[in-house]
Amino acid sequence: VSPAHADADEVQRAESEAGSRWDRFYAVNRTNFFKDRHYLHKTFPDEFGPIYDDDTGGLFRREGEERKDGSVVSSKDTFVVVEIGCGVGNTVLPLLDRGKALLHDHWCPRLEVWGLDFSSVAVGMMKGEPRFVEASAEG
Protein backbone atom coordinates (compact mmCIF):
# COMPACT_ATOMS: atom_id res chain seq x y z
CA VAL A 1 0.00 0.00 0.00
CA SER A 2 1.47 3.30 -1.06
CA PRO A 3 0.84 6.01 1.56
CA ALA A 4 0.45 8.57 -1.22
CA HIS A 5 -2.57 6.73 -2.64
CA ALA A 6 -4.13 5.23 0.48
CA ASP A 7 -6.18 6.52 3.34
CA ALA A 8 -4.95 6.31 6.91
CA ASP A 9 -6.98 3.15 7.64
CA GLU A 10 -5.40 1.27 4.73
CA VAL A 11 -1.91 2.29 5.81
CA GLN A 12 -2.64 1.31 9.43
CA ARG A 13 -4.03 -2.08 8.35
CA ALA A 14 -1.01 -2.79 6.10
CA GLU A 15 1.38 -1.88 8.92
CA SER A 16 -0.46 -3.94 11.54
CA GLU A 17 -0.66 -6.99 9.24
CA ALA A 18 2.97 -6.87 8.08
CA GLY A 19 4.15 -9.62 10.42
CA SER A 20 1.36 -12.04 9.55
CA ARG A 21 1.82 -11.37 5.83
CA TRP A 22 5.53 -12.17 6.07
CA ASP A 23 4.69 -15.27 8.15
CA ARG A 24 2.43 -16.49 5.32
CA PHE A 25 5.13 -15.71 2.75
CA TYR A 26 7.75 -17.79 4.58
CA ALA A 27 5.28 -20.57 5.38
CA VAL A 28 4.78 -20.99 1.61
CA ASN A 29 8.30 -20.27 0.33
CA ARG A 30 10.29 -21.68 3.28
CA THR A 31 14.02 -21.07 2.78
CA ASN A 32 13.92 -21.41 -1.00
CA PHE A 33 13.00 -17.89 -2.13
CA PHE A 34 16.24 -15.98 -1.49
CA LYS A 35 19.79 -17.29 -1.88
CA ASP A 36 22.60 -16.89 0.65
CA ARG A 37 24.50 -13.64 0.14
CA HIS A 38 28.14 -14.63 -0.17
CA TYR A 39 28.94 -11.51 -2.22
CA LEU A 40 28.49 -8.73 0.36
CA HIS A 41 32.16 -7.74 0.27
CA LYS A 42 31.89 -7.18 -3.50
CA THR A 43 28.62 -5.25 -3.43
CA PHE A 44 29.43 -3.26 -0.28
CA PRO A 45 33.25 -3.12 -0.11
CA ASP A 46 33.38 -0.29 2.43
CA GLU A 47 31.03 -2.04 4.83
CA PHE A 48 31.97 -5.71 4.41
CA GLY A 49 35.35 -5.66 2.65
CA PRO A 50 37.30 -5.64 5.92
CA ILE A 51 35.56 -8.86 7.00
CA TYR A 52 36.39 -10.72 3.80
CA ASP A 53 39.72 -9.30 2.58
CA ASP A 54 42.53 -11.82 2.67
CA ASP A 55 44.55 -9.44 4.81
CA THR A 56 41.30 -8.42 6.57
CA GLY A 57 41.75 -4.83 5.47
CA GLY A 58 43.63 -3.79 8.57
CA LEU A 59 40.49 -3.96 10.72
CA PHE A 60 41.04 -7.50 11.96
CA ARG A 61 44.28 -8.39 13.70
CA ARG A 62 45.51 -11.09 16.00
CA GLU A 63 45.17 -10.51 19.73
CA GLY A 64 47.93 -8.34 21.16
CA GLU A 65 48.86 -6.75 17.82
CA GLU A 66 48.83 -3.00 17.45
CA ARG A 67 46.31 -1.28 15.18
CA LYS A 68 47.12 1.63 12.89
CA ASP A 69 45.74 4.01 15.53
CA GLY A 70 48.13 2.61 18.17
CA SER A 71 45.51 0.72 20.18
CA VAL A 72 46.11 -2.93 21.02
CA VAL A 73 43.79 -5.67 19.76
CA SER A 74 41.89 -7.60 22.40
CA SER A 75 39.90 -10.82 22.08
CA LYS A 76 37.09 -8.90 23.81
CA ASP A 77 36.77 -6.48 20.88
CA THR A 78 33.60 -6.96 18.85
CA PHE A 79 32.60 -5.99 15.30
CA VAL A 80 28.78 -5.93 15.26
CA VAL A 81 26.53 -6.34 12.20
CA VAL A 82 22.75 -5.90 12.60
CA GLU A 83 20.46 -6.90 9.76
CA ILE A 84 16.94 -5.50 9.94
CA GLY A 85 14.69 -7.71 7.86
CA CYS A 86 16.87 -10.82 8.09
CA GLY A 87 14.22 -13.27 6.87
CA VAL A 88 15.52 -16.83 7.08
CA GLY A 89 19.14 -15.70 7.45
CA ASN A 90 20.44 -15.38 3.90
CA THR A 91 22.82 -12.65 5.06
CA VAL A 92 23.19 -13.61 8.72
CA LEU A 93 24.25 -17.21 8.04
CA PRO A 94 27.10 -16.42 5.59
CA LEU A 95 28.34 -13.79 8.06
CA LEU A 96 28.26 -16.37 10.86
CA ASP A 97 30.31 -18.68 8.62
CA ARG A 98 32.83 -15.90 8.07
CA GLY A 99 32.93 -15.08 11.77
CA LYS A 100 33.69 -18.73 12.54
CA ALA A 101 36.56 -18.71 10.01
CA LEU A 102 37.99 -15.51 11.52
CA LEU A 103 37.74 -16.96 15.02
CA HIS A 104 39.35 -20.22 13.92
CA ASP A 105 42.30 -18.26 12.52
CA HIS A 106 42.51 -16.20 15.75
CA TRP A 107 41.56 -12.88 14.19
CA CYS A 108 40.06 -10.16 16.39
CA PRO A 109 37.67 -8.46 16.86
CA ARG A 110 35.03 -11.13 17.23
CA LEU A 111 32.27 -10.84 14.61
CA GLU A 112 28.85 -10.55 16.24
CA VAL A 113 25.80 -10.82 13.96
CA TRP A 114 22.22 -9.90 14.87
CA GLY A 115 19.15 -10.52 12.71
CA LEU A 116 15.73 -8.93 13.22
CA ASP A 117 12.56 -9.65 11.28
CA PHE A 118 8.77 -9.14 11.34
CA SER A 119 8.20 -12.82 10.68
CA SER A 120 8.48 -15.19 13.61
CA VAL A 121 8.18 -18.02 11.07
CA ALA A 122 11.32 -16.81 9.24
CA VAL A 123 13.26 -16.27 12.46
CA GLY A 124 12.26 -19.75 13.63
CA MET A 125 13.58 -21.26 10.39
CA MET A 126 16.85 -19.36 10.78
CA LYS A 127 17.21 -20.50 14.40
CA GLY A 128 16.73 -24.11 13.27
CA GLU A 129 19.46 -23.88 10.63
CA PRO A 130 22.53 -25.93 11.72
CA ARG A 131 24.94 -23.02 11.09
CA PHE A 132 22.90 -20.81 13.42
CA VAL A 133 22.62 -23.51 16.08
CA GLU A 134 26.38 -24.08 15.98
CA ALA A 135 27.18 -20.35 16.15
CA SER A 136 24.75 -19.89 19.05
CA ALA A 137 26.33 -22.75 20.96
CA GLU A 138 29.79 -21.26 20.44
CA GLY A 139 28.64 -17.86 21.66
Model's pTM, two decimal places?
A: 0.75
User: What pLDDT is recorded for position 46?
Assistant: 80
User: What pLDDT is recorded for position 83?
Assistant: 94
User: What pLDDT is recorded for position 86?
Assistant: 94
User: What pLDDT is recorded for position 56?
Assistant: 47
Burial class (CB in 10 A: 0-12, 13-18, 19+), 122: buried
User: What pLDDT is recorded for position 49?
Assistant: 76
Domain residues for the domain of 25 are 3-138
Count: domains in the chain: 1
Q: Give the chain's residues under pLDDT 50.
A: 55-57
